[in-house]
Amino acid sequence: MSEREVVLLLGGDLGDPEQQCDLAEAAINERIAPVVARSRDHWTEPWGFTSDTLFLNRALLLRSALGPERLMATCLAIEAVLGRTRSADGGPGSRTIDIDILLVGSEVVGTEALWVPHPRLHLRRFALAPLCDLLPGWEHPVLHRTALQLLDAIPLH
């Protein structure tokens, strides 16, 4: 399989989020592919729940030949090594680290376990802003709008 552009979104609000994202980035460099570029760090309010802490969000651009399923399995393994635990109901909540696959080139995947591009990408300023730092002109393969157009369509509050 040929290499494709992959954008992963790192996020967290527990412990030391900057250190957790740095550790996740190092593990991604080692276990998936070298990071080609990274967004600036974005500090945001939690999405979907309330918390006293802000989330750090950082997007990473890499080129990888891994398929989306293998990529997801590796990201989940990195999360586990870094202490990620999931709530019993699977809902949103505070976390040490989260690694989401935002995109794998222009590939569209829809299975019970994995959706690429991320199914709520177009609704999440905290994901689109870091993506726009890296690839503002990336076109969503289903919505046919650029990352910047999607970001501009989200109200600030």
pLDDT tens digits, 22-55? 999 999 999 999 999 999 999 988 777 677 889 9
Residue 127, in any domain of the structure: no
Domain carrying residue 16: 4-119
| pLDDT for 93 | 65
The span from the CA of 119 to the CA of 106, in Å, is: 14
Does 87 score more than 80 pLDDT? no
Q: Is residue 33 part of a domain?
A: yes
Asked whether residue 133 is domain-assigned, the answer is no
- State residue 94's pLDDT score: 73
Residues in the chain: 157
Tally of domains in the chain: 1
* Domain presence at residue 128: no
pTM for the whole thing?
A: 0.92
More confident residue, 82 or 118: 82
Per-residue pLDDT tens digits for 104-136? 988 899 888 889 998 889 999 999 999 999 999
Does residue 148 lie within any of the structural domains? no
High-pLDDT (> 90) share of the chain, %? 69
Cα angle for residues 156, 147, 123 (degrees, 5° grid): 45
Q: What percent of the chain has pLDDT over 70?
A: 93
Distance (Å, rounded) from C-alpha 70 to C-alpha 67?
A: 5
Residue 17 confidence (pLDDT) = 93
In a domain, 80, yes or no: yes
Query: Rounded to the nearest 5 degrees, what angle is found at the Cα of 54, between the Cα atoms of 27 and 62?
Result: 30
Task: Tell me if 142 is assigned to some domain.
Answer: no
Q: What CATH number does residue 23 fall under? A: 3.30.70.560
Query: Is 124 domain-assigned?
Result: no
Residue 89, pLDDT > 70, answer no
